């Protein structure tokens, strides 16, 4: 098909709310449902997925510049705020959601929902949305990188503490995370001096490696899930209820990050970074961790994560574009107003101390 009709089709496809990568994930789930890996093929697929995950985190290690990390430490208040949202506020909301069990949130989906709340923030999408909304992009790069690095350690520990035996998580599986994820990441950091430049020249091809690794992990997870009969365990109404709960979770975190950053005195650019980095969860980190921590139960566990990932992309894309359309004069006026408000809050105690009795 060519000509005007092909052009209209491309324009219509570009306006679709479904992210192309999510479409690939859904297609992979469909392939796993129709042609699951079983027997010897399952062992081969598992070995390939483990190798791909190791390569994925090795590449993550090569991308984090030590100089960028040191420069990012200057924004330590921003990074602590993002880490607190990611590894404190999110888990607390996940624990509170246990009260929705079993009437609103299906018991078999709750471990995956709680696991979602324990994951680190994203890197790529946080940077992209921060850039669109004219936020602090350098801070977004560091915040996402610090969160991902912290998540390699904190996520399995929190999962063992808060989910534990309910999902079969053991000390051995937590150690496997360190072996399969942390070791390749550190190797990438150590070899970065020699590998960073060649890898940067092939960034586009490496993007396919990233996504291909994740798709392979999804295929193996859902192949194992087919053996368990996950689609018989979760009817469509339960999935819709899960989507509603996740929509509320995302709305709460967007509100907490936006108004919380304002109360803490951050300017507009940093506030944007906190909203986008503090309200998201990483699919790229979550899928490999789920396969290690949950083993054969990973197929059911990653369902909440896949739904939340698509939801956060759609909502944050709308927010970023809306903020990008704000007139420069309005933005400057709001920044000046916030600065005056912060100055008045700081000056008030001093004025009260100098006032006559």
| Tally of structural domains, the chain | 1
DSSP of 145-205: HHHHHHHHHHHHHHHHHHTGGGGT--HHHHHHHIIIIIHHHHHHHHTHHHHHHHHHHTHHH
For residue 1, being part of any structural domain is answered with no
For residue 336, being part of any structural domain is answered with no
Mean pLDDT across the stretch 78-82?
94
Is pLDDT larger for residue 207 or for residue 237?
A: 237
Query: In this predicted model, what pLDDT tens digit does every residue of 41-71 receive, in sequence order?
Result: 778 877 887 787 778 778 777 776 766 666 6
Residue 211, both tokens: 């996504």
The mean of the pLDDT values for the chain is 78
For residue 246, being part of any structural domain is answered with yes
For residue 5, being part of any structural domain is answered with no
Query: In this predicted model, what pLDDT tens digit does every residue of 88-127 receive, in sequence order?
Result: 999 999 999 999 988 899 888 899 999 999 999 987 788 8
For residue 297, being part of any structural domain is answered with yes
User: Taking the model in full, what pTM does it have?
Assistant: 0.72
pLDDT of residue 201: 79
pLDDT of residue 352: 46
Where does residue 245 rank: exposed (0-12), middle (13-18), buried (19+ CB within 10 A)? buried
Query: In this predicted model, what pLDDT tens digit does every residue of 156-166 receive, in sequence order?
Result: 889 888 887 55
Evaluate if residue 14 carries a pLDDT over 50: no
Which residue matches tokens 């933005």? 331
Report the Cα 126 to chain-centroid distance in Å: 9
Geometric angle at alpha carbon 174, from 173 and 180, rounded to 5°: 80
Query: In this predicted model, what pLDDT tens digit does every residue of 237-290 receive, in sequence order?
Result: 888 999 999 999 999 999 999 999 999 999 999 999 999 999 999 887 888 888
Residue 342 and residue 266: Cα distance in Å, rounded?
A: 9
Mean pLDDT across the stretch 202-209?
73
Residue 278 and residue 50: Cα distance in Å, rounded?
A: 29
Note whether 214 and 19 are within 8 A (CB): no
Among 309, 301, 304, 307, which Cα is nearest to 280's? 309
CATH number for 109: 1.20.1530.20
For residue 164, being part of any structural domain is answered with yes
Mean pLDDT across the stretch 212-230?
72
For residue 253, being part of any structural domain is answered with yes
Query: In this predicted model, what pLDDT tens digit does every residue of 286-300 receive, in sequence order?
Result: 888 887 777 666 777
Range of the domain at 244: 20-32+40-50+76-170+207-325
For residue 261, being part of any structural domain is answered with yes
pLDDT of residue 356: 42
In three-state secondary structure terms, 212 is helix
pLDDT of residue 93: 97
Evaluate if residue 6 carries a pLDDT over 50: no
């Amino acid at each position: 098909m060519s000509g005007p009709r092909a052009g209209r089709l491309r324009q219509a496809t570009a306006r679709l709310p479904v992210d192309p990568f999510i479409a690939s994930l859904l297609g992979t789930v469909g392939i796993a449902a129709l042609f699951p890996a079983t027997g010897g093929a399952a062992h081969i697929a598992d070995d390939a997925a483990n190798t791909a995950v190791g390569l994925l985190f090795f590449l993550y290690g090569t991308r984090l510049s030590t100089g960028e990390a040191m420069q990012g430490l200057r924004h330590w208040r921003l990074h602590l705020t993002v880490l607190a949202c990611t590894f404190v506020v999110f888990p607390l909301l996940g624990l509170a959601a246990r009260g929705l069990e079993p009437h609103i949130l299906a018991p078999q989906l709750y471990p995956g929902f709680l696991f979602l709340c324990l994951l680190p923030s994203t890197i790529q999408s946080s940077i992209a949305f921060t850039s669109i909304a004219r936020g602090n992009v350098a801070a977004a790069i560091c915040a996402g990188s610090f969160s991902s690095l912290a998540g390699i350690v904190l996520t399995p520990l929190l999962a063992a503490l808060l989910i534990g035996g309910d999902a079969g998580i053991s000390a051995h599986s937590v150690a496997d995370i360190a072996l399969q994820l942390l070791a390749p990441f550190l190797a990438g950091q150590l070899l970065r001096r020699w590998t960073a430049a060649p890898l940067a020249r092939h960034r586009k091809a490496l993007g396919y490696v990233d996504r291909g690794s994740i798709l392979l992990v999804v295929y193996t997870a859902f192949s194992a899930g087919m053996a368990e009969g996950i689609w018989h365990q979760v009817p469509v109404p339960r999935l819709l209820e899960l989507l509603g709960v996740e929509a509320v979770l995302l709305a709460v975190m967007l509100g907490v990050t936006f108004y919380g950053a304002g109360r803490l005195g951050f300017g507009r650019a940093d506030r944007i970074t906190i909203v986008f980095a503090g309200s998201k969860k990483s699919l790229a980190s979550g899928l490999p961790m789920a396969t290690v921590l949950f083993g054969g139960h990973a197929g059911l566990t990653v369902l909440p994560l896949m739904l939340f990932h698509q939801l956060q992309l759609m909502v944050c894309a709308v927010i970023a574009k809306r903020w990008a359309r704000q007139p420069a004069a309005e933005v400057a006026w709001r920044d000046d107003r916030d600065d005056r408000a912060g100055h008045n809050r700081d000056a008030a105690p001093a004025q009260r101390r100098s006032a006559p009795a």
